[in-house]
Amino acid sequence: MATPSLPDFQFEIGARMARGDWPAAAAAAAGCRAAWPTDSAGWLLGSIAALFADKKEVALALMEERLAIDPKDVQCLLQKAECLLALGRRAEALSSADEAAVHAVNDAVALDAIGTFLVYAAEHSRALEIYNQAVDADPKNIAILGKRAEVHRFLGRFDLSARDHEAVLSLSPGNPDALRGLAELRQQTPDRNSVAAMETALAAAPTASEDITTLHYGLAKSYEDLGEYAASWRHLDAANKLQRARYPFDAAHERALIDRIIAGFPNVEPLAPDTTGEQPIFIVGLPRTGTTLVERILGNHSQVHSAGELAALSESIGAVVEQQSPVLTEGWLGYAAALGDLDGAPIAREYLARSRSRRGDKARFSDKQTANFFYCALILRAFPNARIVHLTRHPLAACYAIYKTRFYGTFTFGNNLAELGDFYADYRRLMAHWHRIVPGRILDLAYEDVVTSLEPATRRLLDYLGLPFEAACLEFHRNPAATMTASSVQVRRPLYDSSLQLWRNYADELKPLAARLEAAGINLD
């Protein structure tokens, strides 16, 4: 039989990875290396498959083998950086990315890939340097200009972000991402807005395209700024219908998951002995409830490092579930049912290993992965001295803030008001359960209190965390750290309360949601 061509191997490996069949993908990659030893594809794709299969050392070894042959291979150097970062070897990962950049001079595509890695690694200043080089190499590349605009926004450099969006528009008039980007950076006014340009672009956009969704969100924000609330809601509703069609959500399945979690933790949790010496701070809750604001308040404290939104806890729990219950016949329902039987110590070990590169060198660190509210009891099993800060917000304000935000494939419950109401009720039910079984261990902190009484709320927060009050915490908007959340513009401004009652402009449109929440026993007063 003839040896398959290199493209055939690449297709086969890609197809097996697309199915999640990592052993088969690894075997095909080994065949590719044997048949095409002078090409990097077999090593590169084999490493990617191994990394997806959580075989980090294998993934790294493949890259080191290939780089011994060709030490200047930019793709392999960047893949090596990915492997090292996954192993928690952050300094080495960044060094490999730097080396890739040395060999990628004037290659805009390669520089773009390196910039993307550095953003993922939360090295935004380094990413900006790389994107500057990429723009110099290809100054009319719209995608790269758009990405640099985003990095500027993450770093709070809004004028430079706007300049990049405007450069995109000079090359591509009516570009949806640039128009929406400008609308989000600036308060739209009657004298300065992009409404007409967005409406024109919307009329010309292909039916049901991503561009249409982008423009609907941009117009919803713009019309809201202008006080034209009926028009704002019309575009917001259209955007969410398109999102819901792309990203399905099963409310009944989600409710069943929460039922399984609650059933797995039926009693008050005993206080476990601490084996870690760590006092992590977990900031949890729904998105758009002030979690980024609180993270930045704490990030200004001399003893706290903000580690950002870490995936380490869910990954660690998943790894321990796999070790203790390798065969789960019910998928996610089986996973949820298994949580109650887990020991905390292995979760803590996994978490500390996976988060090592992000925890900083201060006495305490915060993890602002909002969805960690699913695991409050397990957090305290793993870290008995952990502190859990749960941000709350008026139910309709919270739900409206979620509904108006575009999440790319996450928080999919937020694209339909009925499903949003059901999920909100289930989330509240789960949080009430955690309060019952770990009484006094979770601090509920209302977004409204933080916004209207910053110093008292901050003192209450710091008292709970066992930290001394520092006035710098009140200057959260001066925190220079990058932020990639939907609040990246708002948290750079001094405190304002205009968003607290914004939902009331849509009281009629939100009536079905309000009725659903009240039927679930949620108090809306």
Tens digit of pLDDT for each residue in 69-110? 999 999 999 999 999 998 888 889 999 999 999 999 899 999
User: Which whole number is the average pLDDT over 162-178?
Assistant: 96
Nearest Cα residue to 360 out of 310, 413, 304, 415: 304
Does an H or E element contain 506, and which? none
276 and 316 in contact (C-beta within 8 Å)? no
Domain ranges of the chain: 251-268+278-519
The SS3 call for residue 48 is helix
pLDDT above 90 coverage of the chain, percent: 77
User: Which whole number is the average pLDDT over 46-64?
Assistant: 93
Nearest Cα residue to 349 out of 380, 386, 320, 389: 320
pLDDT above 70 coverage of the chain, percent: 95
Count of Cβ atoms closer than 10 Å to residue 172 Cβ:
15
User: Which whole number is the average pLDDT over 453-482?
Assistant: 89
What does each C-alpha distance from 110 to 55, 101, 137, 264 come to in angstroms? 25, 8, 11, 48
Give pLDDT, residue 492. Answer: 46
Query: What is the rounded distance in angstroms from the CA atom of residue 443 to the CA atom of residue 281?
Result: 11
Query: What is the rounded distance in angstroms from the CA atom of residue 385 to the CA atom of residue 272?
Result: 9
Q: Look up tokens 């019910």; give the residue.
A: 330
Complete DSSP assignment for 206-237 = PTT-HHHHHHHHHHHHHHHHTT-HHHHHHHHH
Residue 486: is its pLDDT beyond 60?
Answer: no
User: Which whole number is the average pLDDT over 311-325?
Assistant: 89
User: Which whole number is the average pLDDT over 506-512?
Assistant: 96
User: Which whole number is the average pLDDT over 157-183?
Assistant: 95
Number of H helices and E strands in the chain, helices first, is 25, 5
373 and 285 in contact (C-beta within 8 Å)? yes
Query: What is the rounded distance in angstroms from the CA atom of residue 379 to the CA atom of residue 402?
Result: 25
Count of Cβ atoms closer than 10 Å to residue 429 Cβ:
16
The SS3 call for residue 190 is coil
Query: What is the rounded distance in angstroms from the CA atom of residue 380 to the CA atom of residue 473?
Result: 26
Alpha carbon distance, N-terminus to C-terminus of the chain = 74
Give pLDDT, residue 493. Answer: 58
Q: What is the mean pLDDT of the chain?
A: 92
The SS3 call for residue 259 is helix
Residue 426: is its pLDDT beyond 50?
Answer: yes
407 and 461 in contact (C-beta within 8 Å)? no
379 and 313 in contact (C-beta within 8 Å)? yes
45 and 36 in contact (C-beta within 8 Å)? no
What tokens were used for 313? 């806890």
- Confidence band, pLDDT 50/70/90 cuts, at residue 327: low
User: Which whole number is the average pLDDT over 311-331?
Assistant: 83
Residue 114: is its pLDDT beyond 60?
Answer: yes
Query: What is the rounded distance in angstroms from the CA atom of residue 227 to the CA atom of residue 223?
Result: 6
Residue 512: is its pLDDT beyond 80?
Answer: yes
The 8-class DSSP code of residue 475 comes to: G
Give pLDDT, residue 268. Answer: 95
- According to DSSP, the residues that pair with 446 across neighbouring strands are 392
Give pLDDT, residue 289. Answer: 94
Query: What is the rounded distance in angstroms from the CA atom of residue 310 to the CA atom of residue 313?
Result: 7
Give pLDDT, residue 494. Answer: 55
Query: What is the rounded distance in angstroms from the CA atom of residue 501 to the CA atom of residue 111?
Result: 44
Query: Vertex 456, ends 455 and 457: CA angle to 5°?
Result: 90
> Residue 448 carries which side chain, given as an amino acid letter?
E
Pairing of strands 442-446, 387-392: parallel
Residue 168: is its pLDDT beyond 60?
Answer: yes
Give pLDDT, residue 150. Answer: 93
The 8-class DSSP code of residue 454 comes to: H
User: Which whole number is the average pLDDT over 354-378?
Assistant: 94
The 8-class DSSP code of residue 412 comes to: G
Does an H or E element contain 338, and which? helix 332-338
User: Which whole number is the average pLDDT over 315-328?
Assistant: 82
Complete DSSP assignment for 301-366 = STTEEE--S--HHHHHHHHHHHHH----TTTHHHHHHHGGG--HHHHHHHHHHHTGGGS-SSSEEE
pLDDT (tens digit, 9 = 90+) per residue, 239-275?
Answer: 999 999 999 899 999 999 999 999 999 999 998 889 8
User: Which whole number is the average pLDDT over 7-20?
Assistant: 86
In the CATH hierarchy, which top-level class contains the domain 251-268+278-519? alpha beta
